[in-house]
């Protein structure tokens, strides 16, 4: 999907009605942030924001912004309103 985008985007993913266990988190984190063609390191992806009140999602986002995942631009917010405001702040510069 992001490979076809020709301009910078911010991607908000609403995970508020999902449940992830630690195995899911490890699998998804590795699949999206590691490797030469990883989704979150695409040059046109400015930021990915997860929406969830689940603490494991916030910890996952924090972990993805470390050197292990090449400082992936992944963040977490508890509400869609917070996520939209975070993206607006980035766009304002």
- List pLDDT tens digits, range 28-63: 898 888 876 788 888 899 999 999 999 999 999 999
Predicted pLDDT at 15: 96
Domain ranges, ordered by start, for the chain: 11-92
pTM of the full structure: 0.88
- List pLDDT tens digits, range 72-81: 999 999 999 9
Contact (Cβ atoms closer than 8 angstroms) between residue 3 and residue 78: no
Strand order through the sheet with 74-77: 9-14, 45-51, 74-77
Give the contacts of 12 (CB within 8 A, at least 6 positions apart). 48, 49, 51, 80, 83, 84, 87
């Amino acid at each position: 999907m992001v490979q076809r985008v020709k301009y910078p985007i911010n991607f908000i993913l609403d995970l508020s009605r999902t449940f992830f266990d630690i195995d899911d988190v490890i699998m998804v984190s590795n699949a999206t942030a590691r490797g030469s063609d990883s989704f979150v390191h695409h040059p046109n992806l400015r930021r990915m924001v997860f929406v969830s009140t689940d603490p494991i999602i916030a910890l996952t986002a924090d972990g993805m912004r470390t050197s292990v995942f090449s400082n992936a631009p992944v963040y977490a917010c508890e509400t869609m309103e917070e996520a939209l405001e975070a993206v607006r702040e980035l766009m304002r510069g």
